[in-house]
């Protein structure tokens, strides 16, 4: 299947009523906010493709979305997670641009319009929303820890790695669907993918409204996200982790051995040799992991996209 390039894809403008835009809305127990969200989107994006993915809700989310004209409703029989719902929606999307949009009426359509305009005018692969601050102290601390770990691993990013409002070119995000987790970490993972694959993208400052309903993000999601940062970096650039550990162990082992050799005069100690050997083995494992990483990434990016309806 041939995918339109950035140069040939028609521009998404107000005059075209955003006909090239698919808006994916993952929804889990969002009966209070889904109608307001859909009303605002349909008013501002009259010709866009709007897809709601009910992720096994136990309330009337699906019922309310089903009664909204011009909206495609997909239903998971059981809860698969925020990322799982997004992937289901993106597989069904048929337009050139794909937007992620939350179902709690927290986001504002005018910022999505600005992001769509930027992705076309600046010829970007994606535009990611960036909120000014966290809604709670606990989530703020969690986001700080995520940013700290990411920067420690040389991932240069903005202040908000996992905002749920973002726009991608279809041909950029679809090859990486197998890599996106089913959890809330899908936003963070997509950000790291853009950074590590060196796609041109931009952060768009946005303001959010008071959400309708209760947040579904739990404290455990923050811990899982920290682990995910390590997993994703290991997938894309394993030597960034393995080489650093390997070099530090080799240096520690060498300095310790030199100290013992000079002070005791008995040559290289067993502990020093052991530390250096472990460092060497970790470096070799890093090289193997790097080769596996490159093979897997080639397989993902070379896979054909699903034909459009």
User: What is the DSSP track for 61-100?
Assistant: HHHHHHTSTTEEEEEESS---HHHHHHHHHHH--SSEEEE
Q: Give the pLDDT score at 7.
A: 38
Q: What is the mean pLDDT of residues 92-114?
A: 95
Going by C-alpha positions, the residue among 233, 186, 190, 192 that lies closest to residue 80 is: 186
Going by C-alpha positions, the residue among 55, 37, 89, 24 that lies closest to residue 211 is: 37
Summarize pLDDT for 181-240 with one digit per residue, the tens.
888 788 888 988 888 888 999 999 999 888 786 665 555 556 666 677 777 777 777 888
- CA gap 10, 115 in Å, rounded: 16
How far is the CA of 45 from the CAs of 22, 27, 87, in angstroms?
A: 10, 19, 22
Q: What is the mean pLDDT of residues 9-31?
A: 77
Going by C-alpha positions, the residue among 49, 70, 73 that lies closest to residue 61 is: 73
pLDDT at 302 over 90: no
pLDDT at 275 over 90: yes
Q: Give the pLDDT score at 128.
A: 94
Predicted structure pTM score = 0.75
- Torsion angle, alpha carbons of 141, 199, 84, 2, to 10: 170
């Amino acid at each position: 299947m041939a995918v339109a390039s950035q140069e040939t894809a028609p521009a998404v403008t107000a005059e075209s009523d955003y006909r090239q835009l698919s808006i994916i809305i993952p929804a889990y127990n969002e009966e209070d906010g889904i109608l307001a969200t859909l009303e605002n989107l349909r008013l501002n994006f009259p010709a866009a493709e709007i897809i709601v993915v009910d992720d096994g809700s136990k309330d009337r989310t699906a019922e309310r979305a089903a009664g909204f004209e011009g909206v495609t409703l997909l239903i998971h029989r059981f809860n698969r997670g925020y990322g799982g719902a997004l992937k289901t929606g993106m597989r069904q999307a048929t337009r050139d641009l794909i937007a992620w949009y939350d179902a709690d009426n927290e986001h504002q359509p005018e910022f999505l319009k600005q992001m769509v305009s930027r992705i076309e005018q600046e010829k970007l692969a994606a535009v990611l929303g960036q909120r000014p601050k966290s809604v709670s102290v606990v989530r703020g601390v969690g986001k700080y820890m995520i940013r700290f770990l990411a920067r420690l691993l040389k991932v240069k990013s903005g202040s908000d790695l996992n905002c749920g409002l973002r726009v991608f070119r279809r041909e950029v995000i679809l090859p990486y669907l197998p890599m996106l987790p089913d959890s809330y970490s899908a936003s963070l993972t997509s950000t790291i993918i853009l950074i590590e694959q060196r796609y041109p993208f931009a952060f768009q400052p946005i303001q959010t409204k008071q959400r309708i309903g209760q947040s579904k993000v739990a404290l455990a999601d923050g811990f899982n996200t920290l682990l995910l940062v390590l997993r994703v970096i290991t997938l894309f650039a394993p030597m960034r982790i393995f080489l650093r550990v390997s070099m530090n162990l080799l240096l520690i082992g060498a300095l310790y051995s030199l100290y013992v050799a000079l002070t005791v005069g008995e040559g290289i100690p067993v502990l020093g040799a052991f530390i250096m050997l472990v460092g060497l083995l970790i470096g070799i494992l890093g090289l193997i992991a790097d080769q596996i990483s490159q093979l897997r990434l080639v397989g993902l990016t070379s896979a054909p996209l699903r034909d459009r309806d």
